[in-house]
Amino acid sequence: MMVKPLAAVFSMLLLFGAAKLPFEHRLEQEDRAAFFHGAKLSLGLRDQVGQLGFLAALSGFRSLVADFLWIEAHTAWEGTQWGRMALLFNNVTTLQPRVVMFWDMAAWHMAYNASVAAMQDPKQPRLALRLRAQREYFELGKDFLIRGIENNPDRYLLYERLGIVERDKFGDHCAASRRFGEAAAIRGAPTYEKRFMAYELSHCPGHEREAYERLLALYKTGRREWLPTLLERLEYLQKALNIPAAQRVNIPEKKL
């Protein structure tokens, strides 16, 4: 007569299920607020990582799948297969969106390595097309960083890397300054982010006064901040803004 105990157990499991659901719901919300379980596994991923990889990722082994794909991307790099790398990086970052290093490296490969390779492509004689391909890889690198920031808004590194890409690859100092500023605002960010923000602001047309005030504030914090670039930008702005001689900071020659 196993029917009665089975029915009792079934009812008990249902009752426990009803009791635990609100707790699980709250816990899930807390987890999400602490950036847990952020990976969004869609059916599109299944086509790219294969049925087995997708099954493994769904079964709680997404970090392992991501690592295998990362190693595959490394092999693709050795073979300079840039398109394949971009695809693999997309999958890796989808599976492990909280690993900042994956976003950072993916962006670096695209914006720095792939873009240079595109520019030096011996199979493409037309400069215009090579330039366009290079620009596309810059954009791809930037896109990785932007998506990385969306998934890791609490970490400074990707804001900093985006600032560097804006500065070095797009020549957009205003955007770079904003990104360094965002990095500086994050807890635990290195102190140089504020300096980088002010440097870039000094190159941003129309923001010279603000840049001057920021650099001056840094200068006044003490000798530790009297770095060659800071002194050089400060001197440049003093001249550009026609700061009265009495208010100017005396820049030591040897520091320049």
Partner 1 sequence: MDTPHKIFSPARLWAIASNTLLELVRLKVFYFLLLFALLIIGSSAFMLDFKFQEQFQVLKDMSLGSMSIFSWLLAVLATAMLLPKEIEDRTLYTILAKPVPRLEYILGKLLGILALLFVSILLMSVMFVIALYIKQQAVLTDAVRGLPPEQTADVIRGVKASAFTVSLIPCVAMIYIKSALLASFTLLASTFATSSIFTIIVSFVVYFIGHVQGIARESLLASPNASALSKVFLAFVSLLFPDLRLLNLTDDVVAGNAISSAIFLKTAGLGLSYFCVYTLAAYLIFAFKEL
Q: Under the rule (CB under 8 A), what is the footprint of partner 1?
A: 1-2, 4-6, 8-9, 12-14, 16-18, 20-21, 23-24, 27-28, 30-31, 34-39, 41, 58-64, 66-67, 70-71, 74, 96, 98-101, 105, 155
User: What secondary structure letter does DSSP report for 198?
Assistant: H
Rounded-to-integer distance, Cα 67 and Cα 198, Å: 38
Least distance (Å) from partner 1 to the CB of residue 174?
A: 30
Which residue, 16 or 129, is less far from partner 1 as judged by CB?
Answer: 16
* Separation of CA 196 from chain center: 17
Judging by beta carbons within 10 Å of its beta carbon (0-12, 13-18, 19+), is residue 46 exposed, middle or buried?
middle
Q: At what angle do helices 157-168 and 192-202 cross, to 10 degrees?
A: 30
Residues 180 and 168: beta-carbon distance below 8 Å: no
H helices, E strands: number in the chain: 12, 0
Smallest CA-to-CA distance from 52 within 36, 37, 68, 39 is with 68
Least distance (Å) from partner 1 to the CB of residue 64?
A: 4
Which residue, 41 or 174, is less far from partner 1 as judged by CB?
Answer: 41
